[in-house]
Structure 1
Amino acid sequence: MSVTRGRSKDPNRPSMFEVAQLAGVSHQTVSRVINHSPDVSEATRSKVQEAIESLDYRPSNSARALASHRSRTIGLVAGGVNYFGPVSSITSIESIAREHGLFMSVMMVNETHCTQNDFESLCENFLQQNVDAFIFLTPTDAMFEAACKAQVSQPRVIVTSTHGAIKADEVVEAKTDDSQIAFTGIDQWGAVHEVARLLAVRGHRTALYVAGPSQWRDATTRLDSWQMAAKRYRIRTAVVRSSTWQARESYGLMNHLIDERGMSGHALPSVVVTANDNQAVGVARALHEHGLRIPQDISLVGFDDIPTVDNMFPPLTTVRPRFADLGVATMRQVLALMKQGEPAQFSSTQHGVGLIGADVIVRSSLGHAVRR
């Protein structure tokens, strides 16, 4: 079948009308196929797809937006981008968005100092881009509150932890009539409980827990879970809180504790559990410099499974969040709110947050408790 070129601004680029002519359908039908409309029979959809492939047709994004009244753009506001968890989440979400023909426009903020006005300003910038929906990665209480209060009418999915100064269930209950909001996250609570169970099985009855910065919801969730799990498994715990996630601070805290215990004659715990892997690196250095062997003298457990901790000496036992699955679930929630698919199915939902699992990766840094 010959095709007459026409209605294309670029003479070398096939148009939607040429696709329609080759497939023997209207250009409106081609538009419906391109925009994944369900109102097209499978036989017609196949003919159109064959014509698209034959002509190597690439639809104009602006034309698609005009036809569907959508920009096919998701606005993502993210905090914590200096850390492994948020960056991994963003990478996964963006990858899934691309698979669905969506574009991701990303703006990053200071997660600690972000104000409501700052957040509203970012959202306004996105609204000028005519975004179809929002994803908010909110690692801190300040960001979580701002995301919940943001004055936007588009669908929004908030990625967060279940616990913090503002409990997620309080927001969920306040928005029971709001069909334009959903919450996703990692099951950090369950992962920390599994860590405590493994320690108990290996005979650990005393522990030091190095908590993260209090304004971070991850830190609060993990600490609250640890305290409950330690009580359940009868693990006596001392808690020190770090004001950052950095190895240098946990290194200093561990040095101080070793010196303090040494002077007072009190024994060290049989295991140190840290709220993230960076902290575990600092703790490991302090133990090494004091001649304490891991795990022969004291065990060590982290959280996040950042690159290289499997090559520490000894390799670090840690928690590996399923960030790829979180990206899939978050995008499915976005698409469901946009009426373009079914919502994600979660194995666990707590406090209104759909949760994705995390796995405890046991390596050589965890041994059996040492008798003191």
Structure 2
Amino acid sequence: MSQAPASGRAPSIRDVARLAGVSHQTVSRVLNAHPSIRPETRERVLAVMGELNYRPNRAARALVTSRSATLGVLSASSAQYGPASSIRAIERAARAEGYFVNTVNVDGSDVGEIEAALTHLLDLGIEGLVVIAPQVRVFDALVSRGLDLPFVTMQSTGRQGDHALSVDQITGARRATRHLIELGHTRIQHLAGPLDWIEAEARIVGFHAELEAAGLPRVEPLVGDWTPESGYAAGQRIAREGGPTAVFSSNDQMALGLLHALRDAGLDVPGDVSVVGFDDIPEAAHFWPPLTTVRQDFDEFGRRCIGLLLAAIRSTPAEERALVPDLIVRSSTAPPRAL
């Protein structure tokens, strides 16, 4: 073989070609798995790449192949457990398929910031886009942009057609509410998330649907902001005003604050008030008492999301049905005390 590249300089495709005794076009064909390359030539080129520790320039390859092997994630809610877990799952699933992920976090209330984030991701040459956003206005920005690349949305608003892959939040909320009804509770309060969030709205719909199915009167929810502090405030109000023997909280963090407030008020959970959460965060099993909650399978969501996106990129069939969350029963729920 000829002389290796000078020390301190990364090897180039021309260094590989020179040491393998082939043209740089041949090396490029090896990199792109072209069928015209003879096996012995491919092995010789790959061996030289290994000796030189050669890494192809991804940007240059993207220009030649029109493939960046990069996906984009636009997130407007990554501070919350659910979206953050979804992003991690999407990144793992993408790497398993040979893709890298660029994630941009934006303020979902700032249309200009959403537009700038979309422009940034498109300028990176992404092959597909995943949108994880709680507010309808983010999806309105997608529609107005008229994206001409495959994209998948996490929350379904009914506006994206077959682009949406969602967790069935309504069924999850119905399961939580039904669990309380089956225990014998008839006075059930819902602690909702912010009303401009798609998931919070869906969980309210599920709560009301299950009350109606059981013949119970409609109850307007208390509204929190996903934080334990808002759950604590709701718990103080419930303890002060009385009424419900059970509460379905729209996420586990608010349920944590709720448990704290009820305990501070001298109420027993689940003796006086049963509590159900949503998400099954890792700490939920270690609350006191351990929290009954609705579990979302974020790993499966990530796999399905990437599967749907890559199917669109590759023009192949994909599974698109919504994921249904499971109810995890722990010690924070029990039948109401007899009056």
Choose which of 259, 265, 274 in structure 2 pairs with 1:290: 265
Partner of 1:272: 247
Name the TM-score, length of structure 2 as normaliser: 0.86
Secondary structure class of the residue paired with 2:208: helix
Name the TM-score, length of structure 1 as normaliser: 0.79
Measure, in 2, the Cα distance between the counterparts of 1:48 and 1:227.
67
Residue deviations 1:212-260, cap 9 Å, x none? 1110001000000111012113344533332511222232223223222
Partner of 1:148: 143
Q: Structure 1 residue 127 and structure 2 residue 108: aligned?
A: no
Measure, in 2, the Cα distance between the counterparts of 1:296 and 1:44.
75
Q: Structure 1 residue 114 and structure 2 residue 110: aligned?
A: yes
Residues 273 and 155 (structure 1), Cα distance of their counterparts in 2 relative to 1, 3 Å cut: same
Residue deviations 1:289-329, cap 9 Å, x none? 12111112221100011232211110001111111111111
Q: Structure 1 residue 92 and structure 2 residue 74: aligned?
A: no
Secondary structure class of the residue paired with 1:76: strand
Choose which of 206, 209, 220 in structure 1 pairs with 2:201: 220
Partner of 1:197: 178
Measure, in 1, the Cα distance between the counterparts of 2:299 and 2:222.
29
Q: Is the 8 A contact 1:208 1:237 kept in 2?
A: no
Residues 54 and 82 (structure 1), Cα distance of their counterparts in 2 relative to 1, 3 Å cut: closer
Secondary structure class of the residue paired with 2:289: coil
Measure, in 2, the Cα distance between the counterparts of 1:287 and 1:357.
30
Q: Structure 1 residue 370 and structure 2 residue 306: aligned?
A: no
Measure, in 1, the Cα distance between the counterparts of 2:276 and 2:158.
29
Q: Structure 1 residue 249 and structure 2 residue 230: aligned?
A: yes
Measure, in 2, the Cα distance between the counterparts of 1:185 and 1:118.
24
User: Which segment is superposed worse, 128-137 or 85-94?
Assistant: 128-137
Secondary structure class of the residue paired with 1:74: strand
User: Which segment is superposed worse, 241-250 or 220-229?
Assistant: 241-250
Q: Which letter maps to 1:153? A: D
Partner of 1:360: 327
Secondary structure class of the residue paired with 1:228: helix
Aligned-residue offset at 1:49: 10
Aligned-residue offset at 1:5: 6.4
Measure, in 1, the Cα distance between the counterparts of 2:319 and 2:78.
27
Residues 151 and 120 (structure 1), Cα distance of their counterparts in 2 relative to 1, 3 Å cut: farther
Measure, in 1, the Cα distance between the counterparts of 2:323 and 2:40.
38
Q: Is the 8 A contact 1:204 1:235 kept in 2?
A: no
User: Which segment is superposed worse, 219-228 or 134-143?
Assistant: 134-143
Measure, in 2, the Cα distance between the counterparts of 1:30 and 1:5.
22
Secondary structure class of the residue paired with 2:101: strand
Aligned-residue offset at 1:78: 0.5
Partner of 2:286: 311
Secondary structure class of the residue paired with 1:190: helix
Q: Which residues of 2 match residues 19-34 of structure 1 at below 5 A?
A: 26-33=26-33
Aligned pairs, number: 334
Secondary structure class of the residue paired with 2:32: helix
Residues 171 and 13 (structure 1), Cα distance of their counterparts in 2 relative to 1, 3 Å cut: closer
Aligned-residue offset at 1:95: 1.8
Identity %: 26
Residues 62 and 345 (structure 1), Cα distance of their counterparts in 2 relative to 1, 3 Å cut: same
Secondary structure class of the residue paired with 2:73: strand
Q: Which letter maps to 1:30? A: V
Q: Is the 8 A contact 2:279 2:296 kept in 1?
A: yes
Q: Which letter maps to 2:230? A: E
Aligned-residue offset at 1:12: 6.8
Q: Which letter maps to 2:176? A: V
What are the ranges of 5 or more consecutive residues in structure 1 without an aligned counterpart?
163-167, 173-180, 262-267, 349-354
Residue deviations 1:121-143, cap 9 Å, x none? 22222232222222211211222
Choose which of 52, 61, 66 in structure 2 pairs with 1:64: 61
Q: Is the 8 A contact 2:208 2:219 kept in 1?
A: no
Residue deviations 1:94-139, cap 9 Å, x none? 122222232222211112x221x33222222223222222221121
Secondary structure class of the residue paired with 1:184: coil
Q: Is the 8 A contact 1:302 1:318 kept in 2?
A: yes
Measure, in 1, the Cα distance between the counterparts of 2:36 and 2:269.
63
Q: Is the 8 A contact 1:202 1:369 kept in 2?
A: yes
Q: Which letter maps to 1:120? A: E
- Measured on the aligned residues, the alpha-carbon RMSD in Å equals 3.2
Aligned-residue offset at 1:334: 1.9
Residues 50 and 9 (structure 1), Cα distance of their counterparts in 2 relative to 1, 3 Å cut: same
Partner of 1:165: none
Q: Is the 8 A contact 1:79 1:108 kept in 2?
A: yes
Measure, in 1, the Cα distance between the counterparts of 2:148 and 2:30.
30
